[in-house]
Every structure is written in structure tokens, then in C-alpha cells.
Amino acid sequence: MKIHEYQAKEILRKYGIITPKGFVIDRPEEASEIYRNLGKSVAVVKAQIHAGGRGKGGGVKLARSADEAQAHARSILGMNLITHQTGPEGQKVLKVLIEEGMDIKHEYYVGITLDRRSSKPVIMASTEGGMEIEVVAEKSPEKIITETIEPTLGLQRWQASRLAYAIGLEGDYNKQAVKMFMGLWNVYDKEDASLIEINPLITTGDGRVLPLDCKLDLDDNGTYRHPEHPALRDTTEEDPLEVEASKSKLNYVRLDGEVGCMVNGAGLAMGTMDIIKYYGSFPANFLDVGGGANPETVTNGFKIILSDPNVKGIFVNIFGGIVRCDRIANGIVEAAKNVSINVPLVVRLAGTNAKEAKDILLKSGIKMQVADTLADGAQKMVNAIRK
């Protein structure tokens, strides 16, 4: 789960990490008072959206007076911010963070994430603050210094110190950086984070080390032991259909194609998307209805898929293993009766009792094509929408 910068910084503070002072607002009128409260000549008005690249898109502005702070808040709040990460449709800004301006001496990068190759977390630091780490990794990988963290022991002080020295932080800066890195590890470990990025990490003219921005992703699998995490979710950042699907506990990701896919299992769901493309169309979604695929999940699946106006046909591809296909077929028939399906429907059921299932589907009177194999189904689907 992605969360906002202001939420991430709140979590950082809980772990003793000092952040720039700031307040989040959703109404521009509040901006001038916050500017005055911050008591600095310069304040920064920052759009709170999950995507990166906010500055370039016009979502981060400096204010040198209360009026200017309010004017910026007014222009940013409600704007449709387009960055390289939002896609061309952009993301509407509903909150801004107003922070005290900083006398930035130098910008750095520090981040913690899982290295899948070693199955261990790594902490990375770089002198190239403000740049995307992926770009640095590609252009000048030698500028990224990493330390592998032994997960049962945690980040060690010497590692944090080595990292800070390696990016040129000495003396008191080093001490402060070490304290921050140790804090970041605590956040990563204790909050079940999957990614923390401080980009940029800054040194200031008055001798401080601070996180100017913070990106924090949380592991959904860890939510059960963090009852406060679900409240951090901002559904306005998500596709409304995906939010709807998650309420029905369906694993749905919206894409921009025309074939709605309903599949059981994540791998087969991706494979089904791929074969739709292979035969010349493009999937409208990823949808894994899970191992059960009962009438309820199938009904909900149909509803979600049909809510997408781009969908020109639906391909149901279920491999019935432990769950018998005849049961699934009954579920599909029942679901199809509940939901009016006004686009071509192709159903392919394989596995246990597939023949009985086919009979049930054919005798149901519901308008659909029944396919025997994956390739057969995908071709029938693509042909049906090409007509």
C-alpha cells in the first residue's frame, strides 16, 4: 500500500526522526495561518499525491508570504496533477502539505527495500539526491552505496556510519545521519514497510540533516498486526472500480484494453491476459477470483468487469481443480442471470467435470460461446469482438 508524504513523515516522527515542520490542509483558506505559524520567510506548498515527479508537474511551490502561500494552495488544491508516474490522465490533488522552507546545502538519497536476490533488506545511499534512484542505478551505479541488512539483527551502527561517510557526511552531519538511518530501519522493520525512500535527504546551512521528502510503501500482508494502517489508505488515489472490487475481496487491476478477463489464480490470470494480446486484442483487466470461484465471486466479477465502459467482451477462464467445474458452471449461469451481460461472453472451463460443466453452460440458454482449450477460448473471444 502506498501512503502520502505527510503520513509517512508522521510515522517517521513516531520513531524519533526529526522532519521539517509542516501541516497538511485540504482548504486553501487555512494556508495563510499555517504560513504564519511556521514563522519562516519561506514555506513550501506540496501537493499530496502518491505519484512522484510532483515538482516538475507544478505540484510543489515556494511561498514568501502568507498571501502567496494561500494563492499556491488555491492553485494546487483541486488541480489535476500530471507527472511521469500518474499517466496522462493525472491525479486530482485533494490535500497539500505546507512545510517550513529549508536552507538546503546539499541533497542526497537514502532508501531501504528488499533485495530479492539475497532475500535480505538493503539500505542504499547516494550523493545524487533528487534524482530517481533507477536512473542513477542505470547511468552511474558506482554512485549508489549499499549495505545488506541481516534481518534478524537489524541495521548495525557501523553500517549506517559507513554509508554516511561514503556519501560525504562527516562530523556532526555523520552523527545525525546515523541516527536517522537507524530510525529508518526501525520504521522499515516495525511498520512492515516494503520501501522507504528519502529523496532528497538534505543537509542545511544551519548544520542539520533532514528528510525533505519521504516515500513509504507498506506490506499489505503485514496489515493484520497494524490496525492503524488501513486508515492510511487513500481510495481517491485508486481506480474506483479497483476500490469496488477490493470491497468484494476480488483481486482486480484495471487495464486499458477491451477484453474483460475473469480467471482463477494470479498466474493463469496473467497468462490469460497475455494470450488475449497474442491473438491481437488487449485485456481490460487482471481479475483473479480465487480458488473458490463461487456464484457470489463470479457475480461480483461480472459486475466489476461490466462497469468498465471499454469492455467489449468477457472471457471467463477457470481451471477447476479441487473445485468441480460443474459447480463453477452453475455459478456462472446463476451470475449471468443476476447481471445482464450485454457483450459477447466466452467461457472456458477446464479440469474436474469439465464435460458436465459444458453441458450445463450450453443448456442454460444464456448467450455465450463455450471453449474447450485456452487457445480456442482466446480466439473465439477476439473474433467475437472483431465482428
The residues that are catalytic are 109, 197
Q: Which helix (H) or strand (E) holds 80?
A: strand 80-81
Residue 151 near residue 114 (C-beta atoms within 8 A): no
Up-side HSE of residue 4: CA atoms within 13 Å toward CB?
A: 23
In the bound state with other proteins, the residue whose beta carbon lies nearer, of 99 and 191, is 191
Q: CA 343: distance to chain centroid?
A: 31
In the complex, the smallest distance separating the C-beta of residue 284 from other proteins, rounded to whole angstroms, is: 11
In the complex, the smallest distance separating the C-beta of residue 98 from other proteins, rounded to whole angstroms, is: 28
Whole-angstrom distance, CA of residue 131 vs CA of residue 34: 29
Q: Order of strands across the sheet with 43-47?
A: 22-25, 96-100, 43-47, 60-63
In the bound state with other proteins, the residue whose beta carbon lies nearer, of 145 and 195, is 195
In the complex, the smallest distance separating the C-beta of residue 383 from other proteins, rounded to whole angstroms, is: 11
CB atoms within 10 A of CB 192: 17
CA distances from 233 to 2, 13, 253 (A): 7, 19, 17
Q: Name which of 317, 313, 302, 307 is nearest 265 in CA terms.
A: 317
Any alpha helices (H) in the chain, and if so which ranges? 5-14, 31-38, 66-76, 133-139, 157-166, 171-190, 240-247, 266-278, 295-306, 325-338, 354-363, 374-386
In the complex, the smallest distance separating the C-beta of residue 102 from other proteins, rounded to whole angstroms, is: 27
In the bound state with other proteins, the residue whose beta carbon lies nearer, of 221 and 342, is 221
In the bound state with other proteins, the residue whose beta carbon lies nearer, of 75 and 352, is 352
> Hunting for cell 472500480 — which residue is that?
241
- Work out whether strand 209-211 and strand 345-351 pair parallel, antiparallel, or are unpaired: unpaired
In the complex, the smallest distance separating the C-beta of residue 321 from other proteins, rounded to whole angstroms, is: 3
Binding stretches for other proteins (CB under 8 A)? 85, 114, 116-117, 119-121, 133-134, 137, 150-152, 189, 192, 194, 219-222, 224-225, 251, 253, 255, 257, 263-280, 282-283, 286, 288, 291, 319-322, 350-352, 373-375, 378-379
In the bound state with other proteins, the residue whose beta carbon lies nearer, of 181 and 319, is 319
In the complex, the smallest distance separating the C-beta of residue 350 from other proteins, rounded to whole angstroms, is: 6
Q: CA 152: distance to chain centroid?
A: 27
In the bound state with other proteins, the residue whose beta carbon lies nearer, of 251 and 338, is 251
Residue 311 near residue 335 (C-beta atoms within 8 A): no
